[in-house]
Amino acid sequence: MKFGHFDDKEREYVIETPRTPLPWINYLGNRDFFTLISNTAGGYAFYRDARLRRITRYRYNNNPMDQEGFRLYVREDMGPGKAPLIWNPSWQPVKTELDSYSCRHGMGYSVFTGSKDGITVSQTMFVPENENALIYHVKLKNDGKTPRNIQLFSFVEFCLWDANDDATNFQRNYSTGEVEIHGSAIYHKTEYRERRNHYSIFWCNREVDGFDTDMDIFNGPYGSAAAPDAVIEGKCRNSVAHGWRPCGAHQMDISLKPGEEYTVVFGLGYIENPEDEKWENLDAVNRTRAEQMMIRYNTDAKVDAAFAELKDTWDRLLRKFNVSSSEPRMDRMVNIWNQYQCMVTFNMSRSASYFESGMGRGMGFRDSCQDLLGFVHMIPGRARARILDIAATQFPDGSSYHQYQPLTKRGNMAVGSGFNDDPLWLIAGTDAYIRETGDFSILDEMVPFDNNEDLAQPLMEHLRRSFNYTVTHLGPHGLPLIGRADWNDCLNLNCFSSQPGESFQTTGPSEGPVAESVFIAGMFVKYGRAYEAICRIQGLKLEADEAEKHIAEMEKAVLTHGWDGEWFLRAYDAFSRPIGSHKNEEAQIFIEPQGMCVMAGIGKDTGEAAKSMKSVHERLETKYGVVLNNPPFRHYHLELGEISSYPPGVKENAGIFCHNNPWITMAETVLGHADEAWDLYQKICPAYIEDISEIHRTEPYVYSQMIAGKDSPRFGEAKNSWLTGTAAWTFLSISQGILGIVPDYDGLRVTPCLPRKMKGYKASRLFRGTTYDITVERAGKDEEKGLWVDGEKQKDYLIPVSKKEEASVLVRI
Ligand code: GLC
Ligand code: GLC
């Protein structure tokens, strides 16, 4: 069952009923100011850091789930003795049945349109480029034949900045709230007097007939968002908040002739003032910057222009890579939604979604490095800056903080380091950047270790220490030590946590000299080769030879001690017992080493790789994707940790963890198994499973972290949408694996691995300044295979770097 449809021309998903299985959200903002917004206009806004600079409040675990947001109320008197008609154009929270409803989630904007009894209201929400504000462009229209008197109310609830403190420290926070009101602008200035230099504003470009800034007065002590006293009575109280719960509400009384339209612009902005310019006088904040902001959006024309600019930005971003094939659903994912999701993961890492509270982890080291793989072609400049930020959180010994806060860019002490795959992801991200841009100069950038400028070294030295970290942390079988966990945060082989509330990752010794990871071994071979190649290109022959030797040894160790007979082992535990082996009772086989080792080419020539893929199909594949392990854990294993704490079939315990499904897709393409690769690509691809939205439940336009596996009663149900490495990896698996367009150091390689049913495709790809118009087709009986650029045949399916603005490429396979 579907709840909407794709509109590819507008690059929108159009939700046709507010009753989606879960809130279906979108992300507004692309720099510093962000808003999460659901299909009923729920959500919240923040500046840079969802925990430390939260602008509006959101209550988790609510029922209904999605109560706070950017709602508008429409009210009309129904005559004496009758209840007024009250509704929201986005349906919640009042939930009056609408005559029509739609929510169009687009690239950086969302449009809600609701109508009731001949009045239509549309609410276009977006964060303009380079602006710290959320704009709502609102239009009310009388579609009927009689004049109407209606009222419009806006409402947002302010968060007292630190979302964590805001949700817990009531003894203080009920006393600190402060606002100022100037005309139609409400200034939320809690803590501005003391340690903050920022306030927020909620304004509109019309004169208002009333306002409120105290939520308990607007809602009334026994009212609620679904039935606020002020709206029911049709009269704001002009309340001024002193402590308690500051809010922003406007009231407008509007008369509409038949056919008449009324527009108003609302804005929610974030303003920072330099320390010496904070005040106008003791009681009044300096409003200069706020007033300038309001002037930038005080007419419909200015707002339309800002909206057009946003559309144009996305147009330019998405023009860099697009494809046209016989598979419209694949095209729409590649051209629109997959790239869009990659951009969102770049901005958010794993911090703020409807599943990530925004208060916990900031940016993940490995997560951010992997996210890079999916957006580096769109914004190489920002990818470069991100790599340097991430590298600065590395420790001098090559290990790294597992997470860091975006506002401070400092490592997160609570989790610390010791996740032994982390260092290698830095090589992966940097390598992708260099292949895309050819910019080797990044390797010369001086980057601190542990954020300490005194310890700064060129980025190349960071990569060297990443590589050497694995070399110097090997276990009894010559395989890499796992530390607190590898890619699978929940495989905790050195922790032995037995008490509720303990961290699975940091309890006990956490790191140890015995437990080893075959997955990291595969990574070391794959990304170690990238490191070796970079050394060679840099003229570091001795170092490259040395690296090559370590990689060969690792490959040998994997084939000797990391092979179970039909598949790759997962790991050795702290007692050197195999994990992911036919000898185990539970979890005999895991997905991660199969994907990573085969992507690295281990056992490609000797048959192990093909066997591994066969075992994946036989033992892990289901109709909704490949599960992480099988059979699932049914017992809690002290020596394995969090993985065995989850019920069978969910999350890391035999869920379909979408992130590593594309590893299998890519592994299949390494072996030339085109149909298998395609089959799996489709299985978890949102556009291909739109029809089962009632089972899948999360948004049909983006990937989720996890789909419940066959061992769960909720088989097929997804969770944790949006912020997942799945976005970047599926983009790689389709664009590089299946379509085969692969950036390389000396050019762009096109080596497709297309399923039999696909005859070819056309693509446009911007690469180092040249736009390539690529046609891929299957060679006819007597036709020569190969790659031609502007009619000239090239070697090895490689498009050499060119100075031309455009070139046309023919690939015959
Ligand atoms: C989550 C984490 C990621 C980890 C994965 C598997 O998605 O963000 O870092 O690799 O879970 O545990
Ligand atoms: C939990 C989650 C896992 C995530 C980790 C992040 O272990 O199950 O998916 O990666 O937390 O710290």
Neighbour count for residue 455 (Cβ, 10 Å): 14
Order across the sheet with 806-812: list the strands: 321-324, 760-767, 770-777, 806-812, 786-789, 792-794
* pLDDT computed for residue 407 by the predictor: 79
State if residue 367 touches ligand 1 by the CB under 6 angstroms criterion. yes
What is the structure's pLDDT at 416?
A: 87
Looking at residue 276, what is its pLDDT?
95
Tell the residue nearest (CA) to atom 10 of ligand 1. Answer: 487
Residue bearing the CA closest to ligand 2, atom 12: 489
Query: Other CB atoms closer than 10 Å to residue 233's CB: what's the count?
Result: 12
Q: Measuring from atom 6 of ligand 2, which residue has the nearest CA?
A: 489
Catalytic residues: 489
Which amino acid residue places its CA nearest to atom 9 of ligand 1? Answer: 367
b/e map 522-532, b = 16+ CB within 10 Å = bbbbbbbbbbb
> Ligand 2 in contact with 651 (CB < 6 A)?
yes
Q: Rounded distance, CA 90 to CA 74, Å?
A: 11
CA–CA separation, 532 vs 541, rounded Å? 9
pLDDT at 322: 96
If one residue of 495, 504, 652, 726 were mutated to test the ligand 2 pocket, choosing by the most ligand atoms within 8 A of its CB, it would be 652
Ligand 1 and 490: CB distance under 6 A? yes
| Residue among 350, 487, 489 to mutate when testing ligand 1 (max atoms within 8 A of CB) | 489
What pLDDT is stored for residue 410 in this prediction?
Answer: 87
Q: Whose CA is nearest to atom 5 of ligand 1?
A: 488
Q: Which atom of ligand 1 is nearest to the CA of 364?
A: 9
Element (H, E) at 277: none
Element (H, E) at 745: none
Ligand 2 centroid–CA 651 distance in Å is: 9
Handedness of CA 97, 99, 105, 110 (dihedral sign): negative
Ligand positioned closest to the Cα atom of 725:
1
Look at residue 528 in the predicted model and tell me its pLDDT.
Answer: 98
User: Collapsing DSSP states into helix, strand and coil, what is residue 563?
Assistant: strand
Q: What is the pLDDT of residue 577?
A: 98
Compute the Cα dihedral for 204, 207, 209, 214 and give only its sign: positive
Q: Which atom of ligand 2 is nearest to the CA of 361?
A: 12
Dihedral sign of CA atoms 383, 389, 390, 391 in order = positive
Q: Would you call the peptide bond into 631 cis, given omega within 30 degrees of 0 as the criterion?
A: yes
Q: What is the largest CA-CA distance in the chain?
A: 91
- Per-residue model confidence as pLDDT tens digits over 617-657: 999 999 999 999 999 999 999 999 999 999 999 999 999 99
Ligand 2, closest atom to CA 720?
9
Which H or E run includes 705? Answer: strand 704-707
Q: Do 381 and 388 touch, CB atoms closer than 8 A?
A: no
- Nearest residue CA, atom 10 of ligand 2? 489
- Give residues with Cβ within 8 angstroms of 323, minimum separation 6: 330, 331, 334, 335, 735, 739, 761, 762, 763, 764
Q: Which two tokens stand for residue 766?
A: 């911007």
CA-closest candidate to residue 366, choices 414, 418, 329:
418
Q: How far is the C-alpha of 135 from the C-alpha of 126, rounded, in Å?
A: 5
Q: Shortest CA distance to 465 belongs to which of 516, 525, 396?
A: 396
Q: Which pLDDT belongs to residue 415?
A: 87
Listing DSSP states for 125-142 in one string gives EE--TT-SEEEEEEEEEE
Ligand 1 lined by 131 (C-beta under 6 Å): no
Cross-strand pairs, 457: 447
| Count of helix runs (H) and strand runs (E) in the chain | 20, 45
**Closest by Cα among 644, 635, 626 to 590:** 626
Ligand nearest to the CA of 642: 2
pLDDT at res. 413: 84
Q: Is the CB of 592 under 6 A from ligand 1?
A: no
The DSSP annotation for 465-482 comes to HHHHHHHT-B-TTSSBB-
**How many Å apart are CA 305 and CA 385, to the nearest integer?**
29
Question: Nearest to residue 364, comparing CAs of 390, 338, 396?
Answer: 390
Q: Ligand 1 test: best mutation among 487, 629, 730, most atoms within 8 Å of CB?
A: 487
Helix boundaries (H) for 600-733 = 608-619, 661-670, 674-684, 693-696, 726-732
pTM of this structure:
0.97
Burial class of residue 575 (count of CB atoms within 10 Å of its CB; 0-12, 13-18, 19+): exposed
Q: What is the pLDDT of residue 414?
A: 83
625-626 vs 621-622, strand pairing mode: antiparallel
In the chain, which residues have pLDDT < 50? none
Atom of ligand 2 nearest to the CA of 490: 7
**DSSP label of 83:** P
φ, ψ of residue 388 in degrees (nearest 5): -65, -40
CB of 488 closer than 6 angstroms to any ligand 1 atom: yes
| Residue 784 DSSP class | P
Q: Which of 349, 351, 367 to mutate to test the pocket of ligand 1 (most atoms within 8 A of CB)?
A: 367
pLDDT per position as a tens digit, 638-649: 999 999 999 999
612 lines ligand 1 (CB under 6 A): no
- Could you tell me which of 234, 255, 252 has the C-alpha nearest to residue 82? 234
Ligand 2 in reach of 356 Cβ (< 6 A):
no
